[in-house]
């Protein structure tokens, strides 16, 4: 059987959970105790030479099983498809999944079902990039503008961006792309770090990690805020005194506030010169973000990690509600929808600074920013990708940070492949870590009852 005859024969899922809540890594004003998790999917073909396609939805623990069930509900759309046709046009699968008229009722285009579609579509892109022998950013940067435009679903977008405008943006983006690809391979893409700023960390840990961040070459750090104003004032003062005036400090409220609170709280922290306020209020509140932005300037407003689709991003741009657009690689319906969002940002001239962290989000999203730089926006000015130093070792092709920059991946694929031994250890509840942990809890309970 020739490689071109390969078909998808299996859509395997895994409920992978890491016990991160025990260290307070990732704690913020809305998420005090996340267990970083992945509803993980592997597409397998029926020929020995067909690479696997890997993808996942990031969650923070409970509900990862619901997310896995949602991915499994898509299996019938994928099994039996020609691998060659899938890879030649991932957009056609994305459209079929989004357009399933019965599943659509569960969104539309939002929440658990939409993220499940993102996991499957991203797995197809991983497969396509592996087959092409290129890292995904390069596959996208090498693609014809006409083909890229066909990968975008323009439904509900044409009042802000037409296919013709998208084509024009992509054609312009190709000018100088080869030089930028060379520069990217030499210098990488700028990163910022959230590692110093988790709410659960002491001032001592904040001080040490902020100083390390500067030493490591980062020019921006981020602090979580929003639980207690007195604490926030103290922590912002500590951070500013450690990093000095030349380093940007972003602050992140993780949706904690009403609109009025967001304005008052941000103004109260303005003396520490925050670069942006991130997620000041509900990610659904376009008009609320617009009101906050107007009131807190020159502090910039950033959002996006929980913005559920391109239609909300369109409105955030139309309403002038954000200064910084934060894509997430695994929240929307995969690469195709993020391509739409990158095009919208380019049209409106708003810089894209992706959300990352969690499990594998850094690995994925770097490819999208690198494509954006090489073949769309053409610049890294005011562009930074979030970096958090958690859980990278669980991936076969982990991100590499040098002097505050993401190094351009060279391995074929989307950097999405988790190590098989990590999946075996952290699959919930039957993996070796959780089986032992649950047995220990059971034993402790019995001892408690006996005592």
- Binding region for its own copies (CB under 8 A): 30-35, 59-63, 65-67, 69-70, 73, 100-115, 154-159, 255, 258-260, 281-288, 291, 306, 308-309, 311-312, 314-315, 318-319
| Minimum distance, C-beta of residue 317 to its own copies, in the bound complex (Å) | 10
Residue owning tokens 């004003």: 29
The torsion angles phi and psi of 37, rounded to 5 degrees, stand at -140, 160
| Minimum distance, C-beta of residue 224 to its own copies, in the bound complex (Å) | 13
Residue owning tokens 């408690």: 448
Catalytic residue among 110, 224, 314, 405: 224
Scored b (16 or more CB within 10 A) or e, 105-134 reads eebebbebbbbbbbbbbbbbbbbbbbbbeb
CB 52 within 8 A of CB 248: no
224 given a catalytic annotation: yes
Nearer to its own copies (CB atom), residue 6 or residue 391: 391
Nearer to its own copies (CB atom), residue 234 or residue 267: 267
CB 363 within 8 A of CB 399: yes
Q: Rounded to the nearest 10 degrees, how much is the dihedral formed by the CA atoms of 395, 309, 370, 415? A: 20
Cα distance between residue 349 and residue 320, in whole Å: 11
Nearer to its own copies (CB atom), residue 288 or residue 304: 288
| Minimum distance, C-beta of residue 15 to its own copies, in the bound complex (Å) | 12
| Minimum distance, C-beta of residue 407 to its own copies, in the bound complex (Å) | 29
Nearer to its own copies (CB atom), residue 194 or residue 417: 194
Longest CA–CA span in the chain (Å) reads: 74
Q: Name the helix (H) or strand (E) containing 159.
A: none
Nearer to its own copies (CB atom), residue 6 or residue 312: 312
Q: Tell me the DSSP string of 375-436.
A: HTS---TT--EEE--SSGGGBSS---EETTEEPPP-SSB-S-PBPHHHHHHHBTTTSHHHHH
Cis peptide before 137 (omega within 30 of 0): no
| Minimum distance, C-beta of residue 78 to its own copies, in the bound complex (Å) | 14
| Minimum distance, C-beta of residue 100 to its own copies, in the bound complex (Å) | 7
Nearer to its own copies (CB atom), residue 32 or residue 430: 32
Q: How far is CA 6 from CA 45, 48, 94, in A?
A: 6, 9, 20
| Minimum distance, C-beta of residue 413 to its own copies, in the bound complex (Å) | 26
| Minimum distance, C-beta of residue 226 to its own copies, in the bound complex (Å) | 13
Extract the tokens encoding 98. Answer: 């989004």
Nearer to its own copies (CB atom), residue 208 or residue 306: 306
Nearer to its own copies (CB atom), residue 102 or residue 230: 102
355 given a catalytic annotation: yes
CB 34 within 8 A of CB 60: yes
Catalytic residue among 355, 367, 394, 405: 355
Residue owning tokens 């975008």: 152
Coil, helix or strand at residue 54: strand
CB 297 within 8 A of CB 266: no
Query: Residue 352's closest CA among 386, 319, 318?
Result: 386
Any idea which residues carry the catalytic annotation? 224, 355
């Amino acid at each position: 059987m020739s490689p071109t005859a390969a078909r998808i024969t299996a859509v395997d899922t895994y409920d992978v959970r890491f016990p991160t809540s025990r260290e307070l890594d990732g704690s913020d004003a809305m998420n005090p105790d996340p267990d970083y998790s992945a509803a993980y999917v592997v597409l397998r073909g029926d020929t020995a030479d067909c690479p696997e396609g890997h993808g996942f939805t990031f969650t923070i623990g409970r509900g990862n099983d619901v997310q896995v069930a949602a991915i499994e509900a898509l299996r019938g759309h994928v099994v039996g498809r020609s691998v060659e046709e899938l890879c030649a046009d991932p957009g056609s699968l994305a459209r079929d999944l989004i357009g399933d008229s019965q599943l659509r009722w569960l969104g539309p285009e939002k929440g658990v079902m939409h993220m499940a579609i993102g996991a499957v579509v991203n797995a197809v892109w991983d497969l396509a990039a592996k087959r092409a022998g290129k890292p995904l950013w390069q596959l996208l940067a090498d693609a014809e503008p006409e083909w890229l435009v066909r990968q975008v679903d323009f439904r509900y977008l044409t009042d802000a961006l037409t296919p013709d405008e998208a084509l024009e943006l992509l054609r312009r983006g190709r000018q100088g792309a080869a030089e930028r690809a060379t520069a990217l391979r030499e210098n990488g893409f700028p990163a910022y770090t959230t590692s110093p700023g988790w709410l659960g960390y002491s001032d001592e840990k904040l001080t040490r990690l902020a100083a390390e961040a500067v030493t490591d070459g980062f020019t921006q750090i981020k602090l979580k805020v929003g639980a207690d104003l007195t604490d926030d004032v103290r922590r912002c003062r500590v951070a500013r005194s450690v990093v000095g005036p030349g380093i940007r400090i972003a602050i992140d409220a993780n949706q904690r506030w009403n609109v009025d609170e967001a304005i008052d709280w941000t103004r109260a922290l303005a003396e520490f010169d925050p670069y942006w306020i991130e997620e000041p209020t509900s990610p659904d509140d376009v008009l609320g973000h617009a009101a906050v932005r107007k009131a807190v300037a020159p502090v910039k407003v950033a959002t996006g990690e929980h913005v559920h689709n391109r239609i909300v991003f369109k409105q955030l741009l139309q309403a002038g509600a954000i200064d910084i657009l934060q894509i997430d690689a695994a929240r929307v319906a995969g690469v195709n929808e993020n391509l739409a969002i990158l095009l919208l940002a380019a049209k409106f001239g708003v810089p894209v600074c992706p959300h990352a962290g969690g499990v594998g989000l850094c690995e994925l999203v770097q490819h999208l920013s690198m494509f954006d730089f090489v073949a769309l926006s053409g610049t890294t000015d005011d562009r930074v990708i979030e970096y958090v130093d958690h859980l990278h070792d669980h991936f076969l092709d982990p991100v590499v940070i040098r002097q505050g920059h993401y190094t351009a991946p060279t391995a074929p694929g989307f950097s999405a492949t988790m190590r098989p031994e990590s999946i075996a250890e952290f699959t919930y509840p039957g993996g070796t870590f959780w089986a032992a942990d649950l047995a220990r809890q059971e034993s402790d309970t019995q001892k408690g009852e006996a005592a």
